[in-house]
Homo-oligomer: A and B are copies of this chain.
């Protein structure tokens, strides 16, 4: 059966299996679904499409219009099987990776005084408020459409993202209050 899929390979394969046909469509689908927990830029998507095609997990055909090349893909039965195998992989969880420059700034904000720290937390809060907008406007409607298409899980995952940012907003508000008090005490 070959090596297990990389996560990025599986992401592209999975979106093809859910009906995204071309690199561009996959890129759009990523923006409306995976984006907030598995970012994928176009160059990776096109590279993965080629690799998956070479492995026989998807099958591409040309569908050019005029001088404009265009290649569309479908998952093969082998691809569907590989996706299921990847989903049920090892019970040993891969780690959640978080990478947040604002949290990093906050960690080192001691050198700029309490007011400077409060500013960084406010920036964090506004960022998550904007993310909540994106969830309401783009991600949750797309998940709702996926549900109508028979896929229940995208909606659960989208709710995770929204509630995560609700948590962040709440945490920021609390810390802003605490830091303001520490500032007054000093």
Query: Chain B's nearest CB lies how many Å from the CB of A128?
Result: 8
Q: Mark A142-161, 1 if CB is under 8 A from B, else 0.
A: 00000000111110110010
User: CB of A21 within 8 A of chain B?
Assistant: no
Query: Chain B's nearest CB lies how many Å from the CB of A186?
Result: 10
Which single residue of chain B is at the shortest CB-CB distance from A98?
A: B37
Q: Is the CB of A123 within 8 A of B93?
A: yes
CA distance A47 to B164 in the complex (A): 34
Chain B hits for A38, CB < 8 A: 99-101, 103-104
CA distance A87 to B116 in the complex (A): 8
25 contacts between A and B (CB under 8 A): A14-B108, A37-B98, A38-B103, A38-B104, A39-B97, A39-B99, A84-B111, A86-B105, A86-B108, A87-B112, A87-B116, A88-B112, A88-B119, A93-B127, A94-B102, A96-B98, A97-B97, A98-B99, A106-B156, A107-B153, A110-B151, A110-B152, A156-B175, A156-B179, A163-B167
Known: A110-B151, A160-B175; 18 extra A-B contacts, CB below 8 A, are: A7-B104, A10-B108, A17-B108, A37-B98, A37-B104, A88-B119, A93-B102, A94-B101, A96-B99, A96-B102, A97-B99, A98-B99, A103-B160, A106-B156, A107-B154, A117-B153, A156-B179, A163-B167
